[in-house]
């Protein structure tokens, strides 16, 4: 690690919890009902299968940013072997341990914007809005540069995050807006009170009060915010970090991306040394 105190361990082996880790508090609010909305189900298996399929070299290692409760890291580890994982939320990491059944997921307490393991990987990935939940463009750029440094030549960074166009479609001409979505498979409803604000630089932030309503009427609530990040903005930050865009999909089964897609999946490659030399003007 960039900080010597951040030693990768199995969660059940006495993970080091650090007081100096910057945390937004998302996990404290959402951990009690996160798995009710984002279930460890077939969709997680599909995501894991998609990641395994595009991994360039599993022998060079894998790192997940914002592992949460292990929804993707666990089924991925069952397919490809050891997965390192980092999250700033103690609550989420505790929930991950509750799901782990011997899978080789090496969890670390830390904030990936500020530090990553002191090694290089064949693949680093961030799914389910993780990159959009970084609070500013400056911090997103910092994270992108750290990821680029953490990749082996030829390694890839995979991002899955929301399509800002669909946020505006969801809200229509209302700002703020209230939407309620019945989630039958999860046995409840999700009501979202959302508001999009714009900075002087033109960056838009989607702030949401999420209310999860169980079928018996029990309520859980939490506040989250996402820095809306169009694919062209993500591409630009990746290019600044020296990464080259490659794949672009709307789903993990390979559906082509379009403006109507609720999310995008984008991969970026760290060039090999030979590719870098070939691209240098003579």
Domain boundaries in the chain?
Answer: 11-163+229-278, 165-226
Q: At what angle do helices 231-240 and 137-150 cross, to 10 degrees?
A: 50
What is the pLDDT averaged over residues 226-251?
98
- Residues near 139 by beta carbon (within 8 Å), at least 6 away in sequence: 113
What's the rounded mean pLDDT across residues 251-267?
A: 96
Answer whether CATH 3.40.50.10420 is correct for domain 11-163+229-278: no
Average pLDDT over the chain reads 91
69, pLDDT greater than 90: yes
For the record, the structure tokens of 8 come out as 């990768």
What pLDDT was estimated at residue 16?
76
* Phi, psi (deg, nearest 5) at residue 161: -155, 170
Q: Is the dihedral of CA 137, 268, 81, 257 positive or negative?
A: positive
Averaged over 229-240, what is the pLDDT?
A: 98
pLDDT in tens, 167-208: 999 888 899 999 998 988 888 999 999 999 999 999 999 999
pLDDT at residue 124, rounded to an integer: 98
pLDDT computed for residue 12 by the predictor: 47
What band does 5 get if pLDDT is binned at 50, 70 and 90? very low
Look at residue 278 and tell me whether its pLDDT is greater than 90.
no
């Amino acid at each position: 690690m960039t900080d010597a105190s951040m030693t990768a361990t199995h969660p059940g082996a006495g993970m080091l919890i650090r007081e100096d880790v910057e945390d937004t508090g998302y996990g404290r609010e959402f951990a009690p009902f996160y798995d009710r909305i984002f279930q460890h189900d077939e969709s997680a298996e599909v995501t894991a299968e998609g990641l395994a399929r595009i991994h360039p070299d599993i022998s060079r290692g894998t790192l997940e940013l914002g592992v949460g409760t292990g929804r993707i890291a666990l089924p991925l580890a069952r397919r490809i072997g050891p997965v390192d994982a980092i999250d700033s939320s103690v609550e989420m990491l505790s929930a991950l341990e509750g799901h782990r059944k011997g899978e080789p997921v090496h969890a670390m307490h830390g904030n990936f914007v500020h530090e990553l393991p002191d090694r290089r990987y064949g693949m680093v990935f961030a799914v389910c809005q993780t990159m959009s939940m970084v609070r500013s463009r400056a911090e997103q750029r910092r994270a992108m540069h750290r990821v680029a440094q953490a990749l082996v030549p030829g390694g890839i960074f995979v991002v899955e995050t929301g399509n800002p166009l669909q946020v505006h479609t969801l809200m229509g001409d209302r700002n703020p807006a209230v939407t309620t979505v019945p989630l039958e498979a999860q046995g409840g409803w999700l009501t979202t009170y959302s508001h999009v604000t714009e900075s002087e630089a033109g960056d838009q932030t989607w702030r949401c009060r999420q209310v999860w309503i169980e079928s018996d009427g029990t309520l859980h609530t939490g506040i989250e915010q996402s820095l809306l990040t169009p694919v062209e903005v993500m591409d630009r930050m990746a290019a600044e970090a020296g990464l080259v865009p490659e794949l672009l999909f709307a789903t993990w089964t390979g559906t082509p991306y379009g403006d109507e897609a609720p999310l995008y999946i984008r991969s970026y490659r760290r060039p090999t040394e030979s590719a870098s030399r070939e691209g240098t003007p003579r």
